[in-house]
Amino acid sequence: MTYGEFSQNSTTPNPPFPVNVSSLKLQVQGVNSQTNTVNASFVYNYKNGTQSTQPLSGNTETGQGN
């Protein structure tokens, strides 16, 4: 389940990411208010049609995470 999603494509004259990336997406998969944790994924879509995903996690109370 995805709780939230934000994406940005490279249609601007000066994209804020490398020229081989067509879009970036941040997907929030889980929020646990009891443990103050958030799990998400950072999805890179490349102009050659491939995709890579970096898992992210963090603690909303301490601010620690990746």
For the stretch 4-27, pLDDT in tens is 777 777 766 666 778 888 888 999
DSSP 27: E
- Kindly indicate the confidence band of residue 36, based on its pLDDT and cuts at 50, 70 and 90: very high
Q: What are the structure tokens assigned to 46, written together?
A: 């490349």
This prediction has a pTM of 0.73
d(CA 66, CA 54): 10
Q: Contact at 8 Å (CB) between 26 and 17?
A: no
Query: What residue spans define the domains of the chain?
Result: 4-59
d(CA 16, CA 9): 9
Q: Contact at 8 Å (CB) between 7 and 25?
A: yes
